[in-house]
Structure 1
Amino acid sequence: MSTFGIRTENLEFVLKSFFAGGVAGMCSKTTVAPLDRIKILLQAHNNHYKHLGVFSGLKEIVDREHFLALYKGNYAQMVRIFPYAATQFTAFEVYKKYLGNKLGSGTHADKFLAGSSAGVTAVAFTYPLDTIRARLAFQVTGEHMYTGIVHTAVSIFKDEGGLRALYRGFVPTICGMIPYAGFSFYSFEKLKYVCMRYCPNVFCSKRDKNTGGLVLTIPGKLLCGGVAGAIAQSFSYPLDVTRRRMQLAMMNPETYKFSNSMLSTLRMIYHENGIVKGLYRGMSINYLRAIPMVAMSFATYEVMKQILDLDTGMKI
C-alpha cells in the first residue's frame, strides 16, 4: 500500500528513523554540553576564559558563574539538535539506499556521499538555531545580551540584517560539513564492517529478531563511533573555528571584522593567531568532546534502530 505515492513501510521507516535520530542527537549533545560551552568560549577568545585551558576553564565557569552554567545554551541546543540529528540520520538512510543502488553498495563513494549530503541537508534546515545556541553559550553571567531563544532570534534578525544574519557563517559550515559528515558516516560504516568481519567474537553478538545476523555490542558501537568522530574532526576543525568566529562576531566591537566572508575570516584568524593557536585553537577539547559525542550518537542510533526494528532499511 502507499500513502501520497510513498510506500507505507517506507513512511513508517522514515518516521521511526526520524525519532531514533533525534533521540540519538539529544543524548550525545547532553553528554558533552559542558565541553561544548568551554569550546565555544575558547574558540571565540572570550575575555574571561581565553587564557585558560580546558579543565581550568570548566572550573572557572563553576567558580565565576555556577554549576548549571556548564549547560548554558543546552536548551537551545536540544531545540536544534533533535530536528538536526533526526534529519541527518534519516537523510543518510535515504541517500545511502539511493546511492547504493546507483553506484553499487560495494563502492567507497556511496556512504561518503550519503553522509556528506545528509549533513548538508540537516545544516540547511537548522542553522539559525545553531547560531542562537552559540550566542547563548558565549554569554557570561552578569553580562547577558540575550534573555532566551526567541529574544536572541528577534534581536539578531532586527539588529544585524535579517535572515542573512541568522545564517552568518553558513558557508564555512557547509564546507566543513561535507568532509565531517562524510568521514563520520563512512568511517563508522567501514569500522562496523571490519569489526563484524574480522573481530566478531570480540565486538559482536548474535541476534535473531530481525536479520538473524551479527550486531555490534554496545562497546563495539561506542568504539566505532568514537574513532569515526576523531577522524572526521581532524579534517573539518579549522572551518568549525571560522564558523564560530563569524557567528559570534557581532557580540564584541573588537570582533566585528570577523563578520564578513569565510575566506577573509580564515585569513585573519591565520595571520593573527596562526595554525595551532588560531585555526586549530581548542582542538584538544574538541577531541575530548567529539569522540564521546559521536560515539554516543552512533551507538544510541544503532540501539534505537534495533528497538524500532529498522535493521532491514528502506525499500526503493
Structure 2
Amino acid sequence: MSPPATSTRPTRNPLNSLLAGGLSGMVAKTIVAPLDRIKILYQVSSDRFMLREVPEMVRRIITREGVTGLWKGNAVMMARVFPYAGVQFMVFDYMRHYWGTMPGGMTPGRSLISGSAAGLTSTVITYPLDLARARLAVQKGRNKPGMGGVKSVMKEILAKDGLLGIYRGIIPTVTGMVPYAGLAFTTNDLLRKFVSKRPPIIGGMTPKDGAEQGRGRELGTYEKLLCGGVSGLVAQSAVYPLDVTRRRMQTAGGVEGAGGMMVRRNMWETLTGIYGEGGVRGLFKGLTMNWIKGPVAFSVSFTCFDYFKDAIERRGGEKEGERREARVLVRRGTGDKLDLTRGEDDETMVAVVFKDEDDEEEIIGLEKEAGGK
C-alpha cells in the first residue's frame, strides 16, 4: 500500500496539497519501485519468501529484462500515484481544517475518521490504474507486442471480465484501507504530539516553543520522518494479509507469470486459499520487504512534500513568515477565531486556529475579515 500523506499544518489552498502531495508520492514510489516489484512477484506466487534470495531475484530480472525491468509497471504507478497521494493530502488537510474549527480540535478519533476518508477516496478514484500496474509488474520477460502498456492490459481485462473486471480486488483493498489509513494517520499524530513535548533527540537543536514547559514545539525533519516511518510500519503490518489477498485477486489468471494459481472469485476464497497454501506465513509473505521499503518511502515522501509545499506556497505569496508576523489582538467567541493584525498595513485579518484535545493552538491560515478595515 502506498504510504499515506500527512502534514502537521493544513495549507491555505487545498490545491497546494494536491500538487505537493502528488509530486512527493511520485518521487517516493519511483525510488522504492524495484523493491515493490519484487514484493508483488512473491505475493502472487506460491514460493516461500526469503530475504537472502532477493539479490538473486534482482539479478535474474536484470538479466532477463534489463535494468529497466526493475521499474516495470512504474509508469502506470506514476499515473496512479499522483492523483492518489494528491487526493489523500487534499482530503486529509480539508478535514483537519474542518475539525480544527470545531470544539475539541483534532482528536485521535477524528484523525482516524479523516485518515480513513482520505484513503478510501483516493483508492476508489485510482484503483483501475493500480490493477493495471499489478498486472504489468508480474509479467516476465521483455514487453511483448500488445502486452507492454496500460491500454493493452485494460483491453485484456475488459475483454475477459467486463467492466467489473477493472475493479477486481477492490473489496480487500477498501477493507484494508480503512484500518490502514486510519491507523497510519492516528499513530503519526499521536507520535508527533508525544515527541513535540520532549527535547530534541539530537543535541544542539533548540525547541522553538519550549518542550520544557510542556507545550508542543515544531519537530525537526528527522523527527517527522521517524514518526511517519513507525506509523507506516504499524499500519502496514496490521493489514498486510489483505494486501496479499488483493494482489492475488488482481493478478490471478490471464497474465504471464501469474499461472499455477487457482482463480478464486471473491475475497474470502482467495484469503483462505492463500492460508491453505502457506499457512500464516503465506498471509505475511513479503512483509519483511515492506519493513525495508516502508521507512524509505515515508522518509522520501515527507521530505519531498515539505519541500514542494513550501516552494508552491512561496510562489503563491503564502510565506510562513507572513503568518508569523501576525500578532494576536483579541480573543472572541469560543476561542476558535482570533482577530489578527498584520504589522505592515494594519489590515484586520481573521484566522482559524487549529486546536487539539489539549487545547493547544496553531494558526493554520489568514483570511481578510468580512466587512473589516
Contact 1:87 1:121 in 2 (8 A): yes
Distance 2:202 2:11 in 1: 36
Q: Residue 146 of structure 1 corresponds to which residue in structure 2?
A: 147
Distance 1:201 1:284 in 2: 27
Aligned ranges for residues 64-75 of structure 1 at < 5 Å?
Answer: 64-75=64-75
The gaps in structure 2 that reach 5 residues or longer are 1-9, 210-215, 321-362, 368-373
Q: 1:261 aligns with which of 256, 260, 266?
A: 266
Contact 1:100 1:110 in 2 (8 A): no
Structure (1 or 2) with the greater strand fraction: 2
Task: Find out whether 1:218 has 2:227 as its counterpart.
Answer: no
Q: Summarize the Cα distance change of 1:68–1:86 in structure 2 as closer, same or farther, 3 Å threshold.
A: same
The structure 1 segments of at least 4 consecutive aligned residues displaced by more than 6 Å after TM superposition are 49-52, 203-208
Q: Residue 310 of structure 2 corresponds to which residue in structure 1?
A: 306
Query: What TM-score, normalized to structure 2?
Result: 0.73
Q: Alignment length, in residue pairs?
A: 299
Cα deviations across residues 5-36 of structure 1 (Å, max 9, x unaligned)? xxxxx996111110011011111101100001
Q: Taking every aligned residue pair, what percent have the same amino acid on both sides?
A: 38
Contact 1:43 1:281 in 2 (8 A): yes
Q: Summarize the Cα distance change of 1:108–1:11 in structure 2 as closer, same or farther, 3 Å threshold.
A: closer
Aligned ranges for residues 1-316 of structure 1 at < 5 Å?
Answer: 13-45=13-45, 53-102=53-102, 104-105=104-105, 107-142=107-142, 144=144, 146-162=147-163, 164-200=164-200, 202=202, 214-250=217-253, 251=255, 252=258, 254-258=260-264, 260-276=265-281, 278-307=282-311, 308=313, 309=318, 313=364
Distance 1:142 1:222 in 2: 37
Cα deviations across residues 206-234 of structure 1 (Å, max 9, x unaligned)? 779xxxx9533332222122111111111
Cα deviations across residues 46-80 of structure 1 (Å, max 9, x unaligned)? 88x97883332222212332111111111111011
Structural RMSD (CA): 2.9
The gaps in structure 1 that reach 5 residues or longer are 1-9
Query: What TM-score, normalized to structure 1?
Result: 0.85
Q: Which amino acid aligns with 1:35?
A: L
Residue 123 of structure 2 aligns to a residue whose secondary structure is helix
Contact 2:73 2:136 in 1 (8 A): yes
Contact 2:99 2:106 in 1 (8 A): no
Distance 1:205 1:182 in 2: 32
Distance 1:53 1:113 in 2: 40
Structure (1 or 2) with the greater helix fraction: 1
